[in-house]
Amino acid sequence: MCLKVYLVQCNGALLPIEVKGGTSIKATSLHNYLMEHPDISAIRYSMLPYRQQKNITNMPLYGVFLQ
């Protein structure tokens, strides 16, 4: 399984972006970070379909080209 996490600035706010090569979406470090910073949202790209969680937007990998 391949895991990459990026931190970018979008409209003056931090945006964590996680990219996973498989279908497992366990991300302990990302979840811990978001629990410490509840005002921040994140995007996760993986092989799974679109799904909105609390403050994580799950996007399919092909969605990288849609934004």
| Mean pLDDT of all residues in 39-66 | 87
pLDDT higher than threshold 70 for residue 29: yes
HEC string of 1-58? CCEEEEEEEECCEEEEEEEECCCCCCCHHHHHHHHHCCCCCEEEEECCCCEECCCEEE
pTM for this entry: 0.76
Longest Cα separation, the chain: 32
Please give the pLDDT value at position 1: 47
